[in-house]
């Protein structure tokens, strides 16, 4: 007598996950939003405020924004609603080293022992998190169980990474990512940092430098060189490019064109970035998540 396979899970992520809205809708991915705070004003990122509205509010200049992660109770509400019929839940979140979001999700899962909830630390953020979530969602749509999906998510993580750059370094300064001396030197020399997420040693899951460029447009060449060194020129590539406000939408088009010329792009998307990331990198930033090879399913 054969044992029935476990059912496919519902996929949950958080508001730092960069994915085109059409794919979120197509795969019924549930996004638990973070909050953007302008003093006493609070907005659900991606729900009550998009990237253009964020830039408009930021331009008022009266207060610098901060962000607030979902609470344990936020996750409990989502999990209770989604798991009411006994369907498993796979909840994939940004790196624990960058936010307490995944710990809030874990605490919520522990409060709901009767539900089949798996909380997964992606060890990354933004578009690279999006690729892991999309890998999971595609597999779930094909009937894969959580136990079958996790190795596919790990494979996507192992085969790629995230790269981003930004126009205004004051956001990194306020967030404590760079010191004042480095900030002033970079501003004087018109340097734009290229940043990635470490995948090795004690820095795993944290931001590290991947280079620098004299403009955002020149940072695109640094992106392409890193990707080529990582996956090999001409290799099959899955990638998603996300942007803020002008001029970054045009830069995203330029970057994707460069990728099409150098790689066999089996999946290539462009979309506005989730606005909560703008709290930490500003409204004029561009990032790319990539992974070598075709989709596993």
Which comes out higher in pLDDT, residue 276 or 170? 276
pLDDT of residue 43: 98
**Taking CA 280 as the corner, what is the angle to CA 119 and CA 35, rounded to the nearest 5 degrees?**
55
pLDDT at 1: 35
Residue 3 has pLDDT above 70, yes or no: no
Q: How far is CA 197 from CA 79, 180, 189, 192, in A?
A: 29, 22, 25, 17
Report the alpha-carbon angle 42-29-154, nearest 5.
110
Per-residue confidence (pLDDT) for residue 188, from 0 to 100: 54
Q: Are 272 and 50 in contact (CB under 8 A)?
A: yes
Q: For 216-235, what is each residue's pLDDT tens digit?
A: 999 999 999 999 999 999 99
Highest mean pLDDT, choosing among 172-176, 183-187, 245-249: 245-249
User: How far is Cα 224 from Cα 227, in angstroms, rounded to an integer?
Assistant: 5
What is Dmax (Cα atoms) for the chain?
A: 72
Q: What is the token pair recorded at 75?
A: 């996750």
User: Distance between CA atoms of 153 and 118, rounded to whole angstroms?
Assistant: 13
The confidence score (pLDDT) of residue 186 equals 55
Query: Which of 61-65, 67-71, 181-185 has the highest mean predicted lDDT (pLDDT)?
Result: 67-71
pLDDT at 181 over 50: no
On the question of pLDDT at 53 being above 50, the answer is yes
Write down the pLDDT at residue 179: 53
d(CA 33, CA 68): 9
In the block, residue with structure tokens 């494979």: 155
Determine the average pLDDT of the residues in 152-173.
91
Q: Which domains does the chain have, with CATH numbers?
A: 10-34+69-155 (3.40.50.10170), 160-292 (3.30.1180.10)
Is residue 20 within 8 A of residue 240, CB to CB? The reply is yes
3-state secondary structure of 51: helix
Secondary structure letter of residue 206 according to DSSP = S
pTM of the predicted structure, to 2 decimals = 0.94
- Sign, CA dihedral 19-24-30-32, equals positive
| Mean pLDDT of the chain, nearest integer | 93
189 versus 21: the higher-pLDDT residue is 21
Whether residue 243 is predicted with pLDDT greater than 80 in this model: the reply is yes
Decide if pLDDT at 249 tops 60: yes
The CA distances from residue 67 to 1, 22, 44, 96, 100, in Å, are 53, 25, 10, 16, 12
Q: How far apart are the first and last CA of the chain?
A: 28
The pLDDT assigned to 191 comes to 79
Q: What is the pLDDT of residue 189?
A: 57
Q: What's the mean pLDDT in 258-276?
A: 98
Looking at 44-53, 207-216, 246-255, which range is the least confident one? 207-216
Write down the pLDDT at residue 253: 98
Q: What is the CA radius of gyration of the chain?
A: 19
Residue 187 banded pLDDT, cuts 50, 70, 90: low
Task: Categorize the per-residue pLDDT at 2 as very low, low, confident or very high, splitting at 50, 70 and 90.
Answer: very low
Q: Which residues of 215-230 are buried (b: 16+ CB within 10 A; e: fewer)?
A: ebbebbebbbebbbeb
Residue 103 has pLDDT above 70, yes or no: yes
């Amino acid at each position: 007598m054969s044992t029935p396979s476990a059912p496919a899970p519902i996929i949950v992520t958080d508001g730092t996950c960069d994915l085109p809205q059409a794919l979120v809708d197509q795969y019924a991915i549930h996004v638990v939003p973070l909050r953007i705070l302008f003093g006493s004003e609070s907005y659900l990122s991606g729900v009550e405020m998009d990237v253009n509205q964020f830039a408009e509010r930021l331009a008022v200049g009266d207060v610098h924004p901060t962000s607030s992660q979902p609470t344990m109770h936020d996750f409990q509400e989502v999990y209770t609603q989604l798991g009411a019929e006994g369907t498993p839940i796979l909840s994939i979140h940004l790196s624990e080293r960058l936010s307490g979001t995944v710990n809030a999700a874990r605490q919520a899962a522990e409060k709901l022992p009767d539900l089949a909830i798996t909380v997964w630390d992606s060890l990354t953020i933004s578009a690279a998190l999006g690729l892991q979530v999309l890998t999971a969602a595609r597999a779930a749509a094909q009937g894969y169980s959580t136990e079958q999906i996790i190795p596919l998510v790990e494979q996507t993580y192992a085969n790629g990474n995230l790269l981003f750059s930004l126009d205004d370094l004051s956001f990194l300064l306020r967030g404590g990512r760079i010191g004042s001396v480095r900030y002033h030197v970079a501003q004087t020399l018109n340097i734009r940092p290229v940043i990635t997420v470490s995948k090795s040693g004690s820095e795993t899951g944290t931001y590290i430098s991947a280079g620098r460029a004299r403009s955002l447009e020149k940072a695109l060449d640094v992106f392409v060189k890193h990707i080529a060194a990582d996956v090999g020129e001409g290799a099959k590539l899955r990638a998603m490019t996300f942007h803020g406000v002008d001029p970054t939408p045009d830069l995203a088009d330029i970057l994707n064109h460069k990728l099409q010329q150098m790689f066999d792009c089996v999946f290539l998307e462009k979309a506005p970035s989730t606005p909560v990331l703008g709290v930490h990198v500003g409204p004029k930033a561009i990032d790319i998540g990539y992974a070598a090879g075709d989709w596993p399913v």
